[in-house]
Structure 1
Amino acid sequence: MRLLVLGGTQFLSRAVAADAVLRGHDVVCANRGRSGATPPGVTTLRWDRAEPAPEELTAGGSYDAVVDVSRMPSHVRRALVALDGHSPDAHWVFVSTISVYADDADPAGPGEGRLKEAIAEDLDPMASVENYGGMKVACERLVLDAVPGAAIVRPGLIVGPGDPSGRFAYWARRSASTGEVLAPGDPDDPVQVIDVRDLAAWIVALAEQQTGGTYDAVGPALPIGDLLAACLPDAELVWAGHAFLESEGVEPWSGPDSIPLWLPRPAYDGMLAHDAAPALAAGLEPRPLDVTTRDTRAWLEADPAARITGITTEREADLLARRRAD
């Protein structure tokens, strides 16, 4: 298979390119070359998608499949136009996000969950989740209109070695803890993650098999108590409820004063509780959480520059003391 990866230098798109190379495919990565290096064994083309496609993109044989992770509608539109005559039979796999859903309290998925309003213009995706999700909705529609048999995958929280968000890394760093660790919310709150390597392997399989459809690309939902028990098997988890965390000014999800993976309830009841069954039936194979935790911790120890987000150990100790006195 001749595979075009639009990206290939960061986290998921790089993992896709690496997995495809290991399977023996001819992989071309088109990117700006500003955000890292492509994996060994790929052919790299320089393309800033704010500009017209370079001649090199279509100078070779046609592509059998295309994987795109873009957030910008104009970038998706430009790629579709560039490849329309060159690779009209290419199977597209577009990587979207569960942030396309309008109601974070509702776990309803493809065909049932209400979507955000599409945003067809290019805005700053980091300015708001509305921008990010709305542009991804527009990107999905562009792909499906041009390639009706395309696959649309909507990942939730992607984790594992190389994660630039630092969210799961917060817990992986603490995975060898034997003392008290502050655990957020209620142990029965649902949560779900997917290892980047498993997601990448599945995306390549979708391209190989020319599988279409729209999927929530998530691992099975499980109680956060079970997730943290798998991540920190020797720790003593001290649970701090939602009201306590909010009263102490702890931020949810991500950031320097957050406890990652914690989300206020019931406003976010659905965000980490999507149905994994369709993706699992289509071949997604999540590995055990303890393996992801072990490998993420090994990456953290090997890379001093790896990002970890969340409260400091000093802030955690203070919260633990306040929790005991509450």
Structure 2
Amino acid sequence: MKRTLILGGTAWLGHELARQLVRSGQEVTCLARGSVGAVPEGAQLVRSDRSQPGAYDAVRGIGLDEVIELSYDQRFVQEALAALSAHAGHWTLVSSISVYTSAQQPGADEDAPVHEPSDPGDYGKAKVAAERASAAMVADRLLIARPGLLAGPGDPSDRFSYWVSRMALAGAGQVLIPPTAGRHVQAIDVRDAAAWIIEAAARSLTGTFNVAGTPHGFAQFLSAAARIAGFSGELVTAQDAWLREHHVNYWAGARSLPLWIAPEDHGFAQRSNQRYALANGPERGVEELLGDVLADERVRGLDRPRRAGLERAEELELLSQLADGR
């Protein structure tokens, strides 16, 4: 039986990795504080605070077929490598597509320039530091997975799920959207990303890969979301300048239009995923993904508080102001 250690495993991607590994018959240990959530049934949780001395004592010296590192904290990454790499057959670092310096070039691949790791508080720069620390220790057995936008049931960020759930909530009403021309959406189902990381590790794949989906035009994406949601209302476009003047934010977070990207960053949602595809990277269709997301959203509540997007009352107020020319 293969033995995998996940450094994490209680949050979204880590939990999905653990779930799929258990289902495949592997012995799975998750080293985490356990404060975010539980591990899947069949996985073992080793409670440990990685900021404390002796964080890896419970798993040190154990022969491991695979270690999957999820942290962006350079200290955690380095200490885990020092404690565990000598007994690990293969090492996977889950990095991020946020490592790249520029979001202006559509089709940029894994060889595009990355940030200098000068700010440990900056997520993208911290992931670069984690990549370099890992390469320094286990370059000959290292897989670096750089996921793009993860989507799917249970998404804690509420970004991808906003549009299909909002259209389902609006029904025959109006939905506020940004201009779609020249804009794209690029997402990968968390289940597909996890499945590929597991399969790639099983064949000891090394190198760096953008774990990303195929880019879709924003208008195409919204049309697909409308079909899945059974939306019969009107999509009302507000221009970028008007939205910004009315304090609507890009991309994510409160009072945002999720997945709306500043014009100068149009390459962000058009990264090359060719290397991932050539490495047998799975990718389910956008309508299947949207359908699964909507089913999950209906269970969670279409009108629930969200981490990203406009509250429905905010949206209706903005639509009223737009109609009145305010």
Q: TM-score with structure 2 length normalisation?
A: 0.89
The size of the alignment, in residue pairs, is: 313
Name the stretch that deviates more: 158-167 or 173-182.
173-182
Partners of 1:306 and 1:208 in 2: CA distance: 39
1:270 alignment partner, SS class: helix
Partners of 1:213 and 1:145 lie apart in 2 by 13
Q: What amino acid sits opposite 1:16 in the alignment?
A: L
Equivalent residue number for residue 316 of structure 2: 317
Q: 3-state DSSP class of the match of 2:309?
A: coil
**2:109 is the alignment partner of 1:109:** yes
SS in 1 for 2:257: strand
Q: Partners of 2:296 and 2:307 in 1: how far apart? A: 12
Residue aligned with 2:291, SS: helix
How many Å apart are 1:299 and its aligned residue?
2.3
Is 2:109–2:273's contact at 8 Å kept on the other side of the alignment?
Answer: no
Letter in 2 for 1:162: G
- The answer on whether the counterparts of 1:186 and 1:242 sit within 8 Å (CA) in structure 2 is no
1:136-215 pair list within 5 angstroms? 136-148=127-139, 149-176=141-168, 177-215=171-209
The residue that corresponds to 1:128 in the other structure is none
1:53-72 mapped onto 2 (5 Å cutoff): 53-58=55-60, 60=62, 62-72=63-73
Residue pairs, 1:4-23, within 5 angstroms: 4-23=5-24
| Corresponding residue of 2:275 | 278
In 2, Cα distance between the equivalents of 1:323 and 1:142? 50
Matched AA of 2:289: T
Contact 2:46-2:58 at 8 Å conserved across structures: yes
Tell me the residue number matched to 1:256. 254
CA distance in 2, matches of 1:214, 1:197: 19
1:26–1:181: structure 2 CA closer, same or farther, 3 Å change rule?
A: same
Distance of aligned partners of 1:322 and 1:306 in 2 relative to their CA distance in 1, 3 Å threshold: closer
Deviation at 1:64, TM superposition (A): 0.8
In 1, Cα distance between equivalents of 2:181 and 2:110: 28
Rounded to whole Å, the distance in 1 between the matches of 2:305 and 2:3 is 32
Gaps of 5+ in 2: none
Partner SS for 1:50: coil
Q: Which of the numbers 205, 217, 227 marks the counterpart of 2:221?
A: 227
Contact in 2 for aligned 1:174/1:232 (Cα 8 Å)? no
SS in 2 for 1:238: strand
- The 1-side partners of 2:255 and 2:215 are apart by 25
Deviation at 1:203, TM superposition (A): 0.8
Cα distance in 1 between the residues matched to 2:281 and 2:152: 16
- Counterpart CA distance in 1 for 2:322 and 2:211 is 36
Tell me, in whole angstroms, the C-alpha distance in 2 between the residues paired with 1:85 and 1:247: 55
Quick one: which amino acid aligns to residue 221 of structure 1? P
**CA-CA distance at 1:18 after TM superposition:** 0.6
Q: Which residue of the partner structure matches residue 25 of structure 2? A: 24
Deviates more, 1:165-174 or 1:70-79: 165-174
Contact 1:300 1:306 in 2 (8 A): no
Question: Using the alignment, how far apart are the partners of 2:200 and 2:239 within structure 1?
Answer: 41
3-state DSSP of counterpart to 2:188: strand
CA RMSD of aligned residues (A): 2.0
1:268-291, CA deviations, whole angstroms, 9 ceiling, x for partnerless residues? 111111011111111221112222
Question: Percent same amino acid among aligned pairs?
Answer: 35
Please give the alpha-carbon distance, in whole angstroms, between the structure 2 residues aligned to 1:175 and 1:13: 30
Q: CA deviation at 1:296?
A: 2.1
Counterpart of 1:295 (choices 288, 292, 295) is 292
Matched residues in 2 for 1:238 and 1:290: separation?
Answer: 22
Q: CA shift at 1:143, angstroms? A: 1.0
Report the CA distance between 1:59 and its aligned residue: 5.5
CA distance in 1: counterparts of 2:307 and 2:284, whole angstroms? 22
> 1:178 & 1:187 partners in 2: Cα distance?
24
> C-alpha separation between the residues in 1 aligned to 2:22 and 2:99?
30
Q: TM-score, normalised by structure 1?
A: 0.89
Alpha-carbon distance in structure 1 between the residues aligned to 2:14 and 2:259: 23
1:95 deviates by 0.8
Q: Distance in 1 between matches of 2:134 and 2:198?
A: 18
SS state at 1:84 partner: helix
